Amino acid sequence: MTLEQLERDVAELRQVIAALQTQVSQLQGGKEPRRGVLSIVGSMTDLPGFEDMVAYGRYYRLTGKDPPPDWKPGDPIPEPDEEWCPR
């Protein structure tokens, strides 16, 4: 699976989750939805550190390794080595 396909899949999942949250809210008569899986997943992007978590995950997906301790989100991600991603 390519990174582009993964990003498209995640975007599609976010849309599906948002639609499900809307349906749950309508079924509850517009009341505040109960805190459950749907509401938690839909609000993850609002959590502090969410973007950093995504950046660390991207680093691992692209390199096959955990980032070094001095790497910070926004720093360049090195090219994968030949073992991880043969060309």
**For the segment 8-25, what is each residue's pLDDT rounded down to a tens digit?**
888 889 988 888 888 877
Dihedral of the alpha carbons of 50, 53, 54, 57, in degrees to the nearest 10:
-160
**For the segment 24-82, what is each residue's pLDDT rounded down to a tens digit?**
777 766 555 555 555 555 666 667 788 888 888 888 888 888 899 999 988 998 887 76
Phi, psi of 31 (to 5 degrees): -65, 165
pLDDT of res. 83: 63
Collapsing DSSP states into helix, strand and coil, what is residue 49?
coil
pLDDT of res. 52: 86
17 and 31, same domain (yes or no): yes
pLDDT of res. 16: 87
Give the chain's domain count: 2
Q: How far is CA 42 from the centre of its chain?
A: 11
34 and 61, same domain (yes or no): no
36 and 53, same domain (yes or no): no
